[in-house]
Structure 1
């Protein structure tokens, strides 16, 4: 292979079956979105085996192909500047347009390059895949794992690489991924790989490119205008079939996700049945709600309880009121009365007690009460009857 298609010796950013790291460890440690190319690490590599198919006479093929490329570049420039060749074709005159003449020269060059590749045994190449930086890690790990132990492991594909990040930031940068095949001109073989990339991985493919094209610097921007891929997608498979395979992949992916979601929900539901439930509140069966709080008790129940409480309270009050005997106005201290009211009540009670004591003493002795006592009696009567009548002097 060319220098760009060869893994440098002792290159730390390449994995093979002899590597100390496992594929998972390698893919985790080295991610294309996280590694910046400083001129020493432009690619990450994965090899299915330590021995890859080799091209025979690569040097001779490159020399011949380079001459063809230079000749075509010159001729295309001449066609562009040849005023005798019209811009538009004229069927009546039998003249071809500049575009038609140019495409004829380019098609002939493509056949010559194929002949050079086959004669010299330089027929290796790769499927091209592009991915944006935010998706490149997933695409790369998918291709790598498939090549090592997945659907691609049973194909002739033997090696893969992905571009790291450029040294300087490039807007809307896309990483190129290459999946290497031993013979790009084996249509049946490259088509088989194509079907797997579409149906099993849903990849966006950009065609098959010869390693000889890479070696001579032939890309999509080359001034010769020669197509930079040996096979375009539509040349290997109808567009309807390509679309169908991708749709089947994504439908299967969606179904798998839904199935996983259902399984997860079923596991959670099963776990919930064995979990200890919270005790329910004691209440009537018709109002039993395991998700209600104490404040959510039905209004009827609350009203009934409140009525019973009020009724019970009223009954108790009535019983207490009936049981209590009627008494005269108590002379006990009123906590809410003023200091003057308390003092007045105390003086009146003291005077009444004093008069009552004198009467009792006088009756026990059987003596005639002195006039002073009569005055005191009148004074007592005055005190007791003061609210009802005038005091006699």
Structure 2
């Protein structure tokens, strides 16, 4: 960050405040850090909780920056002298009471940290920010979460008042990460800084990189500054123990996992309910007149009743219970089966014998002697009239 990165010009397009013409959601949807490219005129996207955030950013800035720059120049010179002094051993010698180059440099740097704090407090230029880095594939989600939290969520109840995120570089940059800053009015107020830290951990599960004062940004102190002065005024472990930090983040991710599971179960339940409803949906009646323009709904109902199989009647049941009539001869019924003929063999044989007996000619009567005699004795009838 350059010395001007903590300020935004009047009328800056890529800034949202409560008096903006668009809603916060519309602003976040329109300007996404992964999509907005920095052409030199839009390095940051800003979201402010209040309408006048600049008062914290500019208060006592000019006088503090001037004094701090002069002091930092002296510190840098001292550190460089130690580094190039061959009389100072690389390793300390306790027996001789000699300190190493590293130990001497750290003493100067620690002294500088205290002096720079003194300059900040004296001029009232104590504003600063929590530093957070986000990869391009996650920056939009993280930025949106922080912005909403700052305006109307958990962060809104803390001292945090402003947030910004770096836009994307114009050219492809390997291993590029977006810097996100959450601003606080006084970075030396340990209680308020810790409160913001807890929200960022517990409610957002973020990896924090420490707290940097705006004065450090303005005078160009970073991790590569030749003075070697630490670029942050607070490291995470100076405010909270590692175990406490881990616990807060674990609680966040556990809650997030539970919420995702609940959402998945709810979605599955809705799908099952929808499928059941679709299966149970009653068959729609045909529109009257679809096939017959003169048909009515009553006709449709009658047709449905007619399609239903009729229940067996009592008369048919009784008929089935009666003894079946004797079957006709196989000769008379061309479709009778062998089984049907076999059931009535005895009757058939009797009928055949009866028919045969009727067809047999009666035996001729033999004229017996007696009949001849009777005929001789019987008087012959006269023919003709009596």
Query: Aligned to 1:198, what secondary structure does the other structure show?
Result: helix
1:145 to 140, 148, 154: 148
- 2:41 is aligned to 40
Q: Which residue of 1 aligns with 2:102?
A: 99
Q: Which residue of 1 aligns with 2:206?
A: 203
Q: Distance in 2 between matches of 1:253 and 1:278?
A: 37
Aligned to 1:112: 115
- Residue 261 of structure 1: how far off its partner (Å): 1.1
CA contact (8 A) 2:3 2:219 kept: no
| Structure 1 Cα separation of the partners of residues 147 and 102 of structure 2 | 41
TM-score normalised over the length of structure 1: 0.69
Measured after TM superposition, the shift of residue 262 of structure 1 is 1.3
- Measured after TM superposition, the shift of residue 18 of structure 1 is 1.1
> What secondary structure is seen at the aligned counterpart in 1 of 2:131?
strand
Rounded Cα–Cα distance in structure 1 between residues aligned with 2:265 and 2:67: 61
Deviations, residues 260-286 of structure 1 (Å, cap 9, x unaligned): 11112222233333333599xxxxxxx
Q: Aligned equivalents of 2:337 and 2:208: distance in 1?
A: 102
- What RMSD in Å do the two structures reach over aligned CA positions? 1.9
Within-5 A mapping of 1:1-393: 3-52=4-53, 53-54=55-56, 55-277=58-280
Distance 2:68 2:248 in 1: 36
Extract unaligned runs of 5+ from structure 1.
280-318, 324-393
Instruction: Note the C-alpha offset of 1:3.
Output: 2.8
The runs of 5 or more residues in structure 2 that have no matched partner are 283-333, 339-386
Q: 2: CA distance between counterparts of 1:109 and 1:322? A: 121
* 1:26 Cα deviation after fit: 0.5
Structure 2 CA distance for aligned equivalents of residues 96 and 124 of structure 1 = 36
User: Once the 2 structures are TM-superposed, how far is the Cα of residue 127 of structure 1 from its aligned partner?
Assistant: 0.5
How far the C-alpha of 1:2 sits from its partner, in A, is 5.6
Which moves more between the two structures, 246-255 or 166-175? 166-175
Q: TM-score, normalised by structure 2?
A: 0.71
In the aligned structure 2, how far is the partner of 1:152 from the partner of 1:322? 97
CA–CA distance in 1 between the matches of 2:174 and 2:337?
97
Separation (CA, whole Å) in 2 of partners of 1:215 and 1:69: 12
For residues 262 and 106 of structure 1, do their structure 2 counterparts lie closer, same or farther at Cα, with a shift above 3 Å needed? Answer: same
Cα separation, 2, equivalents of 1:97 and 1:238 = 30
